[in-house]
Amino acid sequence: MEMSVMGRESAAFTAEFRSLVEALDPAVGWFAAFGRRVPEDLNAWTAGRELPPWDVVADLLQDLAARYGAGEAERRGRRIRSRYELAQRARDSRPDAREDLTRRLGREDQAEIDAHRHGQELAAAERAARLAGRHEEAERLTALRMWAGDDEERARGRRAELRRRLNALPAPTGPTVPPQASPPSSGTAPPAGAAPAMPVPPGTPARRPRGARFAGIEETAPAPAPTTPSATAGSRPAGSRFAGVEESAAPRAPRTVFTEEDRRAAGELAERLARLREQGLGADLYMALCGAVSGPPQRIPLLVESMEREGLEPEVATLLWEAATLPARPVVAVAEALVDRGLENECRQLLRQAAARPAADAGTIAAELLSIGRGEEAVTLLASLVRARRAEDAVGAALENPEVLAPVLLDAARTVSPRHHNAVAGELRRAGAA
């Protein structure tokens, strides 16, 4: 009986997932990256042999939003999320669920370590290339380092989700969950990339970087060692290429005020969300998240922290997706609050999701970020836009305010790859905005 339930729920999700994939253009965006980087995994997901990580589904929903609009992505996202949770619950009811989750957890632990180590090796190679004046090689190594960081972030998010699922299983008769592996500490900080966070697995010394977040990034650099997809947690890019942010400039003092009332409200809401999830009330949980994003922006980072303590990492992705659909100024306020709280990865994920909006909207958000001195975040947003769109579409972000936005869009394209930079520069010239 259990197997028939699992089969039914898995088949329902697979049909929904296949429908999502069929609505996308396989030549662009995150879908194109999956097709190039992990074709075997993509085949397994569409055939129903494996349940994809939720971060993968979230990336494909971003592709859908870019092609058909945020409304369609939101409608489809609610349905596919419900199917996903039912399929996941059915799989976790199997007799071998604990063994399977434990094995996968061990793989993600090792994946995070591998990606972190490879990011350090790429950082060292990049520094050497810059010192030797090999600037084009250094740019390619930067892109590969961003891949490694994104793989590290994905592995971290997947590991947290696996632990949550393991903790939700009936108590075992003996210990089966391996101790949590910790990545080695690093003295180098990779540059910010497209964050999502949160959705592709990691690498060992011989593996190539794999991940949907970096669709279009060239991978031709002679990587000195192993690889895998966003920047290391807490890292922030520095240098003149990040919209005039000087390396020697002192960090800007946080402006967001977090009160005790904000902390209390965020904690209470996170507890309510956890109860709704435990009771299987997905629709009520989603409505509560929508209500949260329309509240004070300074509560979003506190809510993110509280939700993570409650094991609600997948719902954090939904929260940030909803926040990314707000008008420009509230999006900027949430982004600033996230950075002021030290949640740079979550800020990058928010901005990466905002890049799924029409290009003109992304440009408006970028201009608002620049107006409050957040050039780094503006570059992050526009780089995500460049990765996900054709150059002729991406330049739409700069057309309303070319004097301000065209140079930043070019900076952002340069962080993706020389090819993207040249394509965007050409389209800006054709549009008379360069």
Per the domain annotation, does 424 fall within a domain?
A: yes
In this structure, of 207-211, 285-289, 373-377, 387-391, the range with the lowest mean pLDDT score is 207-211
- Mean pLDDT within 45-71: 87
Backbone conformation region of residue 69, classed left if phi is above 0, alpha if psi is from -120 to 50, else beta? left
Note the maximum CA span of the chain. Answer: 70
pTM reported for the whole predicted model: 0.53
Question: Could you tell me which residue, 17 or 227, shows the higher pLDDT?
Answer: 17
3-state secondary structure 19-48: HHHHCCCCCCHHHHHHHHHCHHHHHHHHHC
The answer on pLDDT for 316 being more than 80 is yes
Per the domain annotation, does 399 fall within a domain?
A: yes
Per the domain annotation, does 192 fall within a domain?
A: yes
* 303 and 407 share one domain: yes
Model confidence band, residue 174 (pLDDT cutoffs 50, 70, 90): low
Among 42, 71, 91, identify where a domain stops. 91
Average pLDDT, the chain: 78
* 310 and 395 share one domain: yes
pLDDT of residue 349: 87
Model confidence band, residue 132 (pLDDT cutoffs 50, 70, 90): confident
The answer on pLDDT for 201 being more than 60 is no
* 271 and 315 share one domain: yes
Among 91, 122, 147, identify where a domain stops. 91
Question: Could you tell me which residue, 189 or 381, shows the higher pLDDT?
Answer: 381
pLDDT of residue 188: 33
Residue closest to 349 by CA, chosen among 218, 156, 184, 69: 156
Sign of the torsion formed by the C-alpha atoms of 188, 239, 337 and 327: negative
* 116 and 163 share one domain: yes
- Mean pLDDT within 262-281: 90
pLDDT of residue 190: 33
Per the domain annotation, does 242 fall within a domain?
A: no
Angstrom distances, CA of residue 122 to CA of 133, 240, 289, 409: 16, 21, 38, 25
Residue closest to 178 by CA, chosen among 121, 259, 113: 113
* 285 and 358 share one domain: yes
Per the domain annotation, does 229 fall within a domain?
A: no
pLDDT of residue 302: 95
The answer on pLDDT for 125 being more than 60 is yes
* 135 and 6 share one domain: no
| Domain hosting residue 77, numbered range | 2-91
pLDDT of residue 357: 81
Q: Which residues have a Cβ under 8 Å from the Cβ of 233 and sit 6 or more positions away?
A: 153, 156, 344, 345
Which span out of 133-137, 178-182, 271-275 was modeled with the highest average pLDDT? Answer: 271-275
Domain count for the chain, please give it.
Answer: 3
Per the domain annotation, does 238 fall within a domain?
A: no
Please state, in angstroms and rounded to a whole number, the distance separating the CA atoms of residues 171 and 13: 28
Are 285 and 273 within 8 A, CB to CB?
A: yes
What would the pLDDT profile of 332-359 be if each residue is shown by its tens digit?
Answer: 999 999 999 999 989 998 998 888 788 8
Per the domain annotation, does 237 fall within a domain?
A: no
The dihedral formed by the CA atoms of 75, 80, 83 and 88, expressed in degrees to the nearest 10: -140
**How does DSSP classify residue 396?**
G
The answer on pLDDT for 434 being more than 50 is yes
* 405 and 264 share one domain: yes
* 101 and 87 share one domain: no
In this structure, of 159-173, 294-308, 366-380, the range with the lowest mean pLDDT score is 159-173
Residue type, 53: P
* 104 and 52 share one domain: no
Per the domain annotation, does 343 fall within a domain?
A: yes
Among 91, 121, 136, identify where a domain stops. 91
pLDDT of residue 70: 77
Token look-up 């526009």 returns 382
The answer on pLDDT for 139 being more than 50 is yes
* 265 and 394 share one domain: yes
How much of the chain exceeds pLDDT 90, in percent?
Answer: 29
Q: Which residues have a Cβ under 8 Å from the Cβ of 187 and sit 6 or more positions away?
A: none
Please state, in angstroms and rounded to a whole number, the distance separating the CA atoms of residues 315 and 289: 8
* 205 and 341 share one domain: no
* 185 and 326 share one domain: no
What would the pLDDT profile of 104-124 be if each residue is shown by its tens digit?
Answer: 888 888 888 888 888 889 888
Model confidence band, residue 225 (pLDDT cutoffs 50, 70, 90): very low
